[in-house]
Structure 1
Amino acid sequence: MFTTSRGISLVLALAISALTVAFLFLMEDATPTLLVVAGGISFSVSYILINVTLEFLIFKEIANIYSVLEKIQKKDYSAVTDKSDSLSISPLKKINKTINTYAQAKNKEIETLQKNAEFRREFIADISHELKTPIFAAQGYIHTLLDGAVDDKSVRLKFLKRAAKSLNSLDKLVHDLLTLNQMESGEIKFNFEKFDLREMIHEVIEDMEHKASKRQVLIRFFYDKEKTFITHADKDKIFRVCQNLISNAIKYNNDGGEVEVHLKPHKNHITVEVKDNGKGIPPEDIKRIFERFYRVEKSRSREMGGTGLGLAIVKHILEGHKTKISVSSTVGKGSIFSFELPLDKAAMEVPPKAPSTV
């Protein structure tokens, strides 16, 4: 009884009423009626005020605090929310808010740790598979040679070439992993310089011509011949971004398909757009294609080569340039990858004429 707000209010109200009656009793003109009325009024007013004060300013906040603490003790942070009245003047309000904030922060921390743990499990499984494939392939060829095939010159040369190809794939995978790790940790520095983005893309397309010709894919380059495309960025890393995007557009295109590269100047920036008319990417995969080792068609992608790290590296390079990669895709019609770079307004001279398509 005496641990509730009503019990405490009753005891305190009786005490105040008794003191009031005792004080009035000392007065000579105090009548019994006055004492009863004064005692009743003081009791009623005291009880109401004390009960309201204890219930809404003390006990309610204590109950909320206990509720939060019980959830923390049970490691249940999902339902912890601050439902207390924001206009409350209770001195315990700040304590309650602090505990709620702590619980919510702890909940986010646990969710982050769970996501990181899941990511580590997936990453270890993926990298184990990616490393195992070229290692086992090279092992198989070398052991076959050691078992006697080395005496056959034609077989020896063929198997050594295949083993070398597998080891080259392994070297590229390790190199890409190191590059991605250095980018994420901030170890790789960006060397910004002014360069002609149009000329650089021409270089990338020339490098990709042999790969495109194998699948009879036509690469077309569109830009306004009267515009300038000078930007300020890390040329080597932007070259790698364009190389990766155009290479993917060829790799995941249909035989005899087309790849279009568009340069679009705007007031303060240049948009680079790489478009293909391949199979496209399903909507559920678009959000994940920039993750390490994620492939839309795992078996088909591995047959075509690649480390599965290209788009992850592209994402980090563009983030280092304070921009981002955008993608839109329609299954059966193709995909469009695009990003933006700043336009150097100081170099607005008309560039020399060049062919508008490649």
Structure 2
Amino acid sequence: MFKKSKRKIVAAILSVLVLLLCGTFGVIYLASYTEMTNENRELLKQYVDSYTLPGTDMGGFEFAKDRGDKGTPHTKPPMLELSTFYSVATSKDGQILKVDTADLSTYSEDTLKELAAEIIENGKTDGVESKLAYRMADKGEYILVAFLDNTVMLESADTLINYTLIFGGVALVCLLFLACFLANKIVSPLEESYQRQKQFVSDAGHELKTPVAVVNANLELLSREIGENQWLSNIQYENERMSGLILQLLELARAENVTPMMKVIDLSRLVCGETLPFETVAYENGLTLNSSIVDNILVRGNRVQLKQLVSILIDNAICHSDSSGAIFLSLKKEKNHAVLSVVNNGEEIPLEERKRLFERFYRTDTARTGEGAHYGLGLAIARTITTAHKGTIDVRCYDGKVEFIAKLRLV
């Protein structure tokens, strides 16, 4: 139970941290990408605005130089000078006028021509194509397609992503240990309290055995001396109820604190043997006990505890069933589990009560108004036994019936 809680706490902490890391890195990357994209567009715009086809007044491309009031030229834009540009100038009828490869062999003239033709055909003024940011502009007598090499920027982005993944992986491993530490800190007080409660139940059961036995012995002596007496009968009745409660407390403590000896057991024969004595009990209560048991179902478990599990479920069905009707017990295989089911007629148990049925000392209102030695420990013991056998137990309500289902692993 506490291991499951720890796993949930660790999963919750890691989920929050992963979301925070992913959100932070996502925002950083999105902001960086947007800034770089806008900067590339601005650089391409400056390049296109400054470009003049050779043979005109300027005789080719030069960086624009704005002059101040005193005629002193401003410094050339550093990013513009450090960037690598390619360009293709095309006449309106599709004739290639000029291809500028920036004196580099990275992209050939033919490659640039093909890219420019595709861009002109698509009609999109800017975008990215083959690691090249591009901008298309109508320069009047010709169409210019300018390219900005993004290779360095993309490689830098890839490197940043790789380092981020490595850092994120290392950080998550560290956070996993931190989450486990915090989960232990959170759950430890609850686990300690639960262990104290279990120890109290065990100690109280052992301590109460002696006074109850003494009371019972004195009652027998008094009854011999004074004969039948109403007050003695009342004391005897309550003493027997106390003895039953102590017995169930000790059984619960034993099931929780003692690791049972496990061996391969024929569950089919065990269930059949436990069902037979209860047929008479059911008949005395105006009920019939029907069973359907598949043969040769083998599980690894403790014979004493599994007998107790079957007895608790049948006894619970008899005690809480309608005054007349039938109880149906079945044992079958389902995938890799043995499924023990006990069904009785009864009022539907509210969902909130179903969640608490397997708690210690919990009884529904119907159970509280009944008579008998029932203290709300039977189903708690049943859950403890199924948990010790790495199984599960649950309750379902449908069509005026209540069904308890216990699942145990097959051998």
TM-score per shorter chain, which class? 0.5 to 0.7
- Following the alignment from structure 1 to structure 2, what is the Cα–Cα distance between the partners of residues 268 and 103? 37
- Following the alignment from structure 1 to structure 2, what is the Cα–Cα distance between the partners of residues 283 and 268? 28
TM-score using structure 1 length: 0.53
Q: Does 1:232 align with 2:294?
A: no
**2:271 matched residue in structure 1:** 201
- Following the alignment from structure 1 to structure 2, what is the Cα–Cα distance between the partners of residues 294 and 260? 25
Q: CA deviation at 1:269?
A: 5.5
TM-score using structure 2 length: 0.47
CA separation of 1:112/1:167 partners in 2, compared to 1, >3 Å: closer, same or farther? same
Matches within 5 A, 1:208-247: 208-222=278-292, 229-233=295-299, 234=301, 235-247=303-315
- Following the alignment from structure 2 to structure 1, what is the Cα–Cα distance between the partners of residues 190 and 361? 17
**2:255 matched residue in structure 1:** 179
Q: Does 1:189 align with 2:261?
A: yes
Secondary structure of 2:263's match?
coil
Secondary structure of 1:308's match?
coil
Q: CA deviation at 1:257?
A: 3.4
Q: CA deviation at 1:256?
A: 1.8
Secondary structure of 1:245's match?
helix
- Following the alignment from structure 1 to structure 2, what is the Cα–Cα distance between the partners of residues 171 and 281? 27
CA separation of 1:114/1:162 partners in 2, compared to 1, >3 Å: closer, same or farther? closer
CA separation of 1:322/1:207 partners in 2, compared to 1, >3 Å: closer, same or farther? same
Percentage of matched positions with identical amino acids: 19
**1:310 matched residue in structure 2:** 378
**1:104 matched residue in structure 2:** 179
- Following the alignment from structure 1 to structure 2, what is the Cα–Cα distance between the partners of residues 231 and 92? 52
Q: CA deviation at 1:317?
A: 3.1
CA offsets 1:173-201 (integer angstroms, 9 cap, x no match): 2233223321xxxx2211323x361x433
Matches within 5 A, 1:80-99: 89=164, 97=172
State which of 320, 332, 350 in structure 2 corresponds to 1:282. 350
**1:336 matched residue in structure 2:** 403
Matches within 5 A, 1:57-206: 89=164, 97=172, 100-113=175-188, 115-116=190-191, 119=194, 152-155=226-229, 158=233, 159-160=235-236, 162-182=238-258, 187-193=259-265, 195=266, 197=268, 199-206=269-276
Answer whether contact 1:289 1:295 (CA < 8 A) is retained: yes
Secondary structure of 2:228's match?
helix
- Which amino acid is the alignment partner of residue 274 of structure 2? V
Unaligned residue ranges in structure 2 (runs of 5+): 1-73, 83-159
- Which amino acid is the alignment partner of residue 111 of structure 1? I
Answer whether contact 1:231 1:342 (CA < 8 A) is retained: no
Answer whether contact 2:297 2:333 (CA < 8 A) is retained: no
Matches within 5 A, 1:258-273: 258-265=326-333, 270-273=338-341
Q: CA deviation at 1:220?
A: 1.6
* Larger RCO (CA under 8 A, 6+ residues apart): 1
**1:300 matched residue in structure 2:** 368
Answer whether contact 2:205 2:250 (CA < 8 A) is retained: no
CA separation of 1:210/1:133 partners in 2, compared to 1, >3 Å: closer, same or farther? farther
- Following the alignment from structure 2 to structure 1, what is the Cα–Cα distance between the partners of residues 410 and 167? 56
Secondary structure of 1:244's match?
helix
- Following the alignment from structure 1 to structure 2, what is the Cα–Cα distance between the partners of residues 106 and 86? 30
Unaligned residue ranges in structure 1 (runs of 5+): 1-35, 46-84, 345-358
| Greater fraction of residues in strand | 2
Q: CA deviation at 1:141?
A: 8.6
Answer whether contact 2:216 2:236 (CA < 8 A) is retained: yes
CA separation of 1:231/1:93 partners in 2, compared to 1, >3 Å: closer, same or farther? closer
Answer whether contact 1:142 1:160 (CA < 8 A) is retained: no
- Which amino acid is the alignment partner of residue 245 of structure 2? S
- Following the alignment from structure 2 to structure 1, what is the Cα–Cα distance between the partners of residues 324 and 211? 34
CA offsets 1:221-277 (integer angstroms, 9 cap, x no match): 235xxxx51122344433222111111111111222321112345676653321011
- Following the alignment from structure 1 to structure 2, what is the Cα–Cα distance between the partners of residues 302 and 105? 47
Secondary structure of 2:297's match?
strand
Q: How many pairs are equivalent?
A: 259
Q: CA deviation at 1:152?
A: 2.9
